[in-house]
Structure 1
Amino acid sequence: MDDKKGLTIRSIDRALEILDCFLGDQHEFTLNEIAEKVSLSPSTTYRLLNTIAQKDYLSKNSNKKYSLGPKMAILGSLCSEMKYDHLVEAAKIYMDQLNKKYDESISLYTVEGDNIICIERFETTRALKQAIGKGDCLPLVSGASGKLLLAYEPINHQRKLIGDDLFLWSAIEKIQADGFAFSTGEKAEGVSCIATPVRNSEGKVVASFTMTGLFTRFQDEELKEKIADTLLMARSVSEDLGYRADSK
């Protein structure tokens, strides 16, 4: 007899099996769909779903379909914060410096599956702001930050997301050659973005150190200065994480 199996509580085990249904690409299920996936009767499944929903770990919409509830989002956010604590702590001082120098929004993104997630953000005091906050997710193929991180992903992941898009392959090659990404108007009209790589002690790109602001402030010599300073801050974070360019 498996000791671990013998110590499990069946009702909890079943509840976790229900939550496991939401790990795939489908985000909403009917009662009968869940019952079939976990091999339980509809009546037993209903009782379990009702208990989980009452605790706000699942939600039931007007179409009588179940989806993950607000408490799951809170847990996910806390999990991400703990996961990236060391990275955020290394970056915050440099994000603050760049934010104060230019009064532009400074963000830190990292890869989560096929998306990027904003794990820290210093907001501008100017009127124009992006509708992106800490904890928000975007597609990995989206904007300068996403493309910067995609450029350093394993080739199999790149092929999955890029496919036969020659324009995107060309953009990725340019980012690899330049060492940074720049875009205007991709995620928000009139907003420019500079994204630079943060590396860990092994030289792996683990984050995008990003500056965003109104495109009129990202022109000519001002743009060159902002690119240079964003690259400098990203390198400083990398060095604090143990990266040494001359040793790679």
Structure 2
Amino acid sequence: MATAPAASMRSLDRALDVLGVLEDTRQPLRLSEVARRADLHVATAQRILNVLVERGYAAKEDSGYVAGPAAVATAHAFLVNNRLSQVALPILQELAATTGLTASLFVRVAFSRVLIARVQGRNPLRYQLPIGEKLPLTLGAGKALAAWLPEPELRAFIDQFTPFTRISGEQITADALARDLGRVRDDGYALSLSERVLDVIAVSAPIRHGEETLGALSVSGPHSELAEDDRPRIINEVRRAAGAVAARCP
């Protein structure tokens, strides 16, 4: 029989799994679908959802369950208190002004990246990426975070998420992703074109503090706005900005 602390931790793990399911969905989910995605018995999922609804971390609509308003308050508390976003904001503003591109700050959450700050460039992108959006590590700025994963974690990441197809139609195998991430480590930046959104180019660099990767800075814009002969300047600006953020973080 599990001890009380072990059982409590298992219950917490399950509740966080359910929260993760609600975070990742773009539409209300029926109870049975929440249970399936969280790999839980329906009765267990129901008990967890009842508590989450009571606490405001989930909400029940006619068509199913969605994340609740308490999650917004938690996200706000993070943004207000997070040293990285406070330090990075003026540097993002300078980077957007210097490059004319949209500047973004991402942090890693497990095998995903989350946008925590963004400053629009001169010509905003056609799509709006909201703060808190969760995106893959396999594409764009995600590679500037994934490249420095410890070796066992890096191998597990590559095995779990390959093969996959970029929006351009390019098929990426495990070996191809490993080579790509190796180049990012060697070069200190990631250059991406039409990986997640067609005709969008991005330059990203990790924010490295000692052996720790705190986040990644990225600039992005339409491919037509970043001439090939201007790429070295943009790369240097992004790497300089990432270094400036790292230097100001404790």
**Structure 2 counterpart of 1:219:** 227
User: Which of 169, 180, 185 in structure 1 is aligned with 2:194?
Assistant: 185
Secondary structure in 2 matching 1:134: coil
User: Which of 136, 139, 147 in structure 1 is aligned with 2:143?
Assistant: 147
**Structure 1 counterpart of 2:176:** 167
* Separation in 1, partners of 2:222, 2:85: 25
Alignment of 1:1-248 (within 5 A): 20-23=14-17, 27=22, 29-30=31-32, 36-37=43-44, 49=50, 53=53, 56-62=56-62, 67-82=65-80, 85-143=82-140, 145-163=141-159, 165-200=174-209, 202-241=210-249
Secondary structure in 2 matching 1:73: helix
Report how far residue 205 of structure 1 moved. Answer: 1.5
Residue identity (%): 17
* Separation in 2, partners of 1:205, 1:18: 27
- Conserved in 2, the CA contact under 8 Å of 1:110 and 1:119? yes
Number of residue-to-residue matches in the alignment: 218
The runs of 5 or more residues in structure 2 that have no matched partner are 23-28, 160-172
CA RMSD of aligned residues (A): 3.3
* Separation in 1, partners of 2:143, 2:75: 23
The runs of 5 or more residues in structure 1 that have no matched partner are 6-12, 243-248
- Conserved in 1, the CA contact under 8 Å of 2:53 and 2:68? no
The 1:52–1:159 alpha-carbon spacing in structure 2 relative to 1, beyond 3 Å, is closer
* Separation in 2, partners of 1:19, 1:74: 21
The 1:105–1:26 alpha-carbon spacing in structure 2 relative to 1, beyond 3 Å, is closer
**Structure 1 counterpart of 2:168:** none
* Separation in 1, partners of 2:186, 2:139: 19
Secondary structure in 1 matching 2:92: helix
Secondary structure in 2 matching 1:107: strand
Secondary structure in 2 matching 1:176: helix
**Counterpart amino acid of residue 132 in structure 2:** G
Report how far residue 187 of structure 1 moved. Answer: 1.6
* Separation in 2, partners of 1:155, 1:214: 34
The 1:19–1:54 alpha-carbon spacing in structure 2 relative to 1, beyond 3 Å, is farther
Identify the range of structure 1 (69-78 vs 223-232) with the bigger mean alpha-carbon deviation.
Answer: 69-78
Deviations, residues 164-200 of structure 1 (Å, cap 9, x unaligned) = 7111001011101111000011121111000011122
* Separation in 2, partners of 1:158, 1:205: 14
Identify the range of structure 1 (232-241 vs 26-35) with the bigger mean alpha-carbon deviation.
Answer: 26-35
* Separation in 1, partners of 2:102, 2:177: 26
The 1:52–1:151 alpha-carbon spacing in structure 2 relative to 1, beyond 3 Å, is closer
Q: What TM-score comes out, normalization by structure 2 length?
A: 0.74
Greater Rg by CA: 1
**Counterpart amino acid of residue 213 in structure 2:** V
